Amino acid sequence: MTELLKEAFEYYRLNPYNFVVDMIGATPTPQQKLMLDVIPKAMKERKGIAVRSGHGVGKTACESWVIIWFMTCFPNSRVPCTAPTQPQLYDILWSELSKWHNASKVKQMFEWTQTHFKNKAFPETWFAVARSSNKPENMQGFHGDHLLFIIDEAPGVEDNIMEVVEGALTKEGALCIMLGNPTQISGFFHSAFHKHRDLFYTFNFSSIDCARDRPDIVDPSYATNMAKKYGVDSDIYKVRVLGDFPSASPDTIISLDKVEKAVNREDLIPSNAGVMVVGCDVARYGNCETTIYLRRDKVVEEYKTFNHRDTMATAGELAFLARKYQGKYDVIFCIDDTGVGGGVVDRLQEVVREEKLSAVVIGVNNGASSYDEGYVNLGTEQWFWLREHIHEYKLPNDETVIAQLSCRKYGMSSKGKLQIERKEDLQKRGLESPDRADAVLLTFFPLISNFDDGGYSPCIA
């Protein structure tokens, strides 16, 4: 290695930002520059780096730049990368790494594969590797003079995984960088900003700040639209826009972190036979949505969401499902018949009888009496049932579903019974009707009513 080349490496070791600009050809945002500039200091002081961020601020790009910088400037470096789920790790982070590797001036030094990023000359000792955080052993066994841990969507990584990472950071030259939407108010990532703040350099990348500085990265209307849909006081706005931790208000029925965990479960897959429950929340015209969700065993999936459809069209959509799964599943339709949904229930029951389809059609009135006397009505009981059992299920990865499930509040009635926030009060807070959340909840109605076990009650039409 020539003296000039040595000087270049030494210079870029201490100047990650300049490396990103000169060697990768990127233009970091002011937020990203703050993090890049502190890395050499953090390594010297044996501190970690934690970044809580809003949506779309370029955190994954920044992670990719750091991986390439570290691999280029530190011989025989090893970079374990992890995230709570494989899609987050491979489809997002690893894909982003490929993009910036191909654009860089050091492309010829390294080889990118689906799971590894290797130095071509020394692939066994000089590499980055992608490993999901579902098992602690995935992060064990990494040693060396130059060690970098990248923890993507860090709030979702379990503490026992982080303990393994922490144990590896025992000497100078090792570094841990954690980034993610701050969805939880407990755990290792949360502690980095509170109880263990002296051990980390911490940053907040808000979508508002990024949109102001770099509208090419974050649409300036994003924050405005999120505020309009969910309210500036909602946890979804705090987390997705401001990059702040949720308030976990004591009067919120289901906390954001519980919903996020249910969305990110990878150990559950839909069953290929048995019972399929179809939940349908019916709208007609106006701003509300007609929403249809399917639950097969422990997995809830979105089927269809649409506006401005009359009730006969909705009944036809559900009849199509009954025919499609005839003979494969025993289909139970749970339809909100509090308002216009009654027409859908009547028409679908008629089609099922006429065509002799193996389906059961249930009209669910959320205002009816609850099974448990501790609730004002059936609608309230459904929300609290899901709060108790949400950890058992996988829910759709849809921001609207996540927001609607985590925004609903509750109180006590004059008779001392639990009562969910009325939709009128939701609207006063500037929130939309929770149509998608209601359809998801309807998929669990047979469990609440014991209908799966042959039960029958006045709540079933």
pLDDT, tens only, 292-348: 999 999 999 999 988 877 889 899 999 999 999 998 999 999 999 887 888 999 999
Beta bridge partners of 409: 252
Nearest to 143 by CA among 174, 119, 176, 110: 174
Predicted confidence at residue 13, as pLDDT, reads 92
109-113, 166-170, 398-402, 422-426, range with the lowest pLDDT: 166-170
* CATH code of the domain occupying 3-213: 3.40.50.300
Across residues 60-71, what is the average pLDDT?
96
Most confident of 133-142, 235-244, 384-393: 384-393
Angle ∠(262,266,272) on CA atoms, nearest 5: 100
1-5, 104-108, 238-242, range with the lowest pLDDT: 1-5
Cα–Cα distance for residue pair 304/290, rounded to 1 Å: 8
pTM over 0.85: no
Predicted confidence at residue 459, as pLDDT, reads 34
What class does CATH assign to 256-453?
alpha beta
Predicted confidence at residue 458, as pLDDT, reads 32
- Residue intervals of the chain classified under CATH 3.40.50.300 are 3-213
- The answer to whether residue 457 scores a pLDDT higher than 50 is no
- Residue intervals of the chain classified under CATH 3.30.420.240 are 256-453
**What are the DSSP E strand ranges found in 230-374?**
274-281, 290-296, 299-306, 329-336, 359-364
* Helix (H) or strand (E) run with residue 112 in it: strand 110-112
Token pair of 341 as six digits: 């949904």
Contacts of 29 by beta carbon, 8 Å cutoff, 6+ apart: 57, 58, 210, 213, 214, 217
Cα–Cα distance for residue pair 133/86, rounded to 1 Å: 9
Cα–Cα distance for residue pair 364/435, rounded to 1 Å: 14
Across residues 30-36, what is the average pLDDT?
95
- Could you tell me how many residues make up the chain? 461
Token pair of 220 as six digits: 């300036």
Cα–Cα distance for residue pair 300/395, rounded to 1 Å: 5
What are the φ/ψ torsions at residue 111 (nearest 5 degrees)? -120, 130
35-39, 229-233, 300-304, range with the lowest pLDDT: 229-233
Cα–Cα distance for residue pair 329/96, rounded to 1 Å: 40
Question: What whole-number percentage of the chain has pLDDT above 90?
Answer: 51
Q: What is the mean pLDDT of the chain?
A: 87
Token pair of 446 as six digits: 């047979």
Three-class SS state of 51 = strand
- The answer to whether residue 460 scores a pLDDT higher than 50 is no
What are the φ/ψ torsions at residue 26 (nearest 5 degrees)? -95, 165
Q: Are 312 and 347 in contact (CB under 8 A)?
A: yes
For 457, other C-beta atoms within 10 Å of its C-beta total 13
Three-class SS state of 313 = helix
